[in-house]
Amino acid sequence: MTWQGADRTHQDNPFASHPTRPRGGYAGRVLCVVPLLIAQLLIVGLTSLVTAAAVSAQADAPPLSLKRALVNVWPEYDDPRLLILYEGEFAAGETGFPQVVQFPVPPGPLQVNQAAGLTADAQYRRQQWEIINQPDGTGILSYTLPIPTFFFEYYVPGIEGQKERRIAYVYRTLYPVETLEFAIQVPLRSRGFRLSPVATTVTNDADGFTYHRLTYRNVQPGQEITLDVRYTKDNAQPSVQRQTPANPVATSPGRSLRSNIGYYLLALGAAGLVAAGGYYVWWQRKVVATDKKRMPASRRPRGRDKVIQIARKRETREPGQQMLPYCTQCGRALQPQDRFCPTCGTARRMG
């Protein structure tokens, strides 16, 4: 850069009276913005990929149907409420899972104990779940099932009456069911147990419980099956005492894995923005440090106090010695013919 001043030409004076231009130029500013753009593109790209994968999986997945299902209805088992234990197997093979599955549940406040995949050796692969409320007051239990066999259980207030108890349990399904079985447990210390429709078989177990069983074939989606249960019981004491599990199950609704995708993307985006901000700060510091290294020591700006100290030192002279003028900006000694400082380009004060 060349600029003309009075009768002298000065070359490349970065600390002249005009403001210093920022180092790095247009390219430096672009490089500072690039990480922020990359983070935003990363968030948008991941969101698009996840959405496309979910849509593709739903489109490619065959329609689900239940090969078998067993609904255990246990009134006042270890709690004054109604305990429902639902297990079964989807007809799709292992290649169709994991997959989101949904099951209608009765109205009222539910306490879901677990929603899981049930392995061949009776191990529960617990999953996160959510309840989707419906306009008619019922709900949909939804979770991602890792394998074709499933199990979930919940408590619901469904028992009416003080001494003469009555239960009206309504079963609904979103999937065709090839074989559906109900097992209604008779509460201990109860009498006059009646079930409508009448059970096809009655069985007993080693713990002294009696079960009334019903079997249905080829149940279709939207079909409702109502079980009317009645019995007499003199107290509200459950059949057995509840045993607290080693790891108590939370009673508040969980979230299905698909509901957590938004949180994962949000966390990833926040991490990307933090990384981009860190890169921006690092880049700015690097530019400043590079400029300081490139700048000759004689051209680096000095504080006003330093200039005054240099000027005062130069004022100390022997008697009869002529004092040389100095630059009021950087403190350099000026020659009589200098109208501008040869170091910083500041105009010389006359007089």
The lowest-confidence range among 204-208, 212-216, 234-238, 291-295 is 291-295
Q: pLDDT digit string (tens) for 86-101?
A: 999 999 776 688 999 9
Q: Is the pLDDT of residue 27 over 60?
A: no
Whether residues 94 and 189 share a domain: the answer is yes
Assign 66 a pLDDT band (cuts: 50, 70, 90).
Answer: very high
Whether residues 83 and 215 share a domain: the answer is yes
Q: What is the pLDDT of residue 259?
A: 43
End residue of a domain, out of 255, 287, 317? 255
**Which one-letter DSSP state was computed for residue 234?**
S
Whether residues 303 and 250 share a domain: the answer is no
**139 within 8 A of 129, measured Cβ to Cβ:** no
Q: Is the pLDDT of residue 9 over 60?
A: no
Q: Is the pLDDT of residue 255 over 50?
A: no
Please give the mean pLDDT across all residues of the chain.
77
Please indicate whether residue 182 or residue 323 has the higher confidence score (pLDDT).
182
Assign 182 a pLDDT band (cuts: 50, 70, 90).
Answer: very high
CA distances from 71 to 92, 154, 172, 212, 320 (A): 20, 12, 11, 12, 116
Whether residues 208 and 87 share a domain: the answer is yes
End residue of a domain, out of 231, 255, 279? 255
Q: Is the pLDDT of residue 178 over 80?
A: yes
Q: What is the pLDDT of residue 161?
A: 94
Whether residues 245 and 317 share a domain: the answer is no
Assign 174 a pLDDT band (cuts: 50, 70, 90).
Answer: very high
Please indicate whether residue 165 or residue 52 has the higher confidence score (pLDDT).
165
Structural domain includes residue 239: yes
Q: What is the mean pLDDT of residues 319-344?
A: 76
Q: What is the pLDDT of residue 135?
A: 93
Structural domain includes residue 319: yes
Q: Is the pLDDT of residue 163 over 80?
A: yes
Return d(Cα 233, Cα 76) in angstroms, integer. 10
Whether residues 130 and 247 share a domain: the answer is yes
Q: What is the mean pLDDT of residues 115-122?
A: 94
Closest CA relative to residue 31, chosen from 239, 286, 201: 286
Structural domain includes residue 201: yes
Q: Which helix (H) or strand (E) holds 196?
A: strand 191-196
Q: What is the pLDDT of residue 53?
A: 47
Q: Is the pLDDT of residue 179 over 60?
A: yes
Structural domain includes residue 261: no
Whether residues 248 and 341 share a domain: the answer is no
Pairing, β 201-204 against β 210-219: antiparallel
CATH code for the domain in which residue 206 is found? 2.60.40.1730
Assign 165 a pLDDT band (cuts: 50, 70, 90).
Answer: very high
End residue of a domain, out of 255, 283, 314? 255
Q: What is the mean pLDDT of residues 48-73?
A: 68
Return d(Cα 87, Cα 98) in angstroms, integer. 17
Structural domain includes residue 134: yes
- Split into its structural domains, the chain has a count of 2
Cis? peptide before 22, omega within 30° of 0: no
Q: Would you state the structure tokens that stand for residue 255, as one six-digit string?
A: 């979230």
Backbone angles phi and psi of 283, in degrees to 5: -65, -45
Whether residues 310 and 232 share a domain: the answer is no
What domain range includes position 220? 61-255
Whether residues 209 and 337 share a domain: the answer is no
CA 137 to chain centre: 29
| 3 state DSSP class of 270 | helix
Assign 293 a pLDDT band (cuts: 50, 70, 90).
Answer: low
Structural domain includes residue 55: no
Assign 324 a pLDDT band (cuts: 50, 70, 90).
Answer: low
Q: pLDDT digit string (tens) for 258-287?
A: 444 555 566 676 777 777 777 777 766 766
Cis? peptide before 197, omega within 30° of 0: yes
Structural domain includes residue 49: no
Q: What is the mean pLDDT of residues 140-168?
A: 96
Q: What is the pLDDT of residue 8?
A: 41
Q: Is the pLDDT of residue 58 over 50?
A: no
Cα torsion 94, 88, 82, 219: sign: positive
Whether residues 175 and 321 share a domain: the answer is no
Structural domain includes residue 12: no
Whether residues 300 and 232 share a domain: the answer is no
Q: What is the pLDDT of residue 347?
A: 84
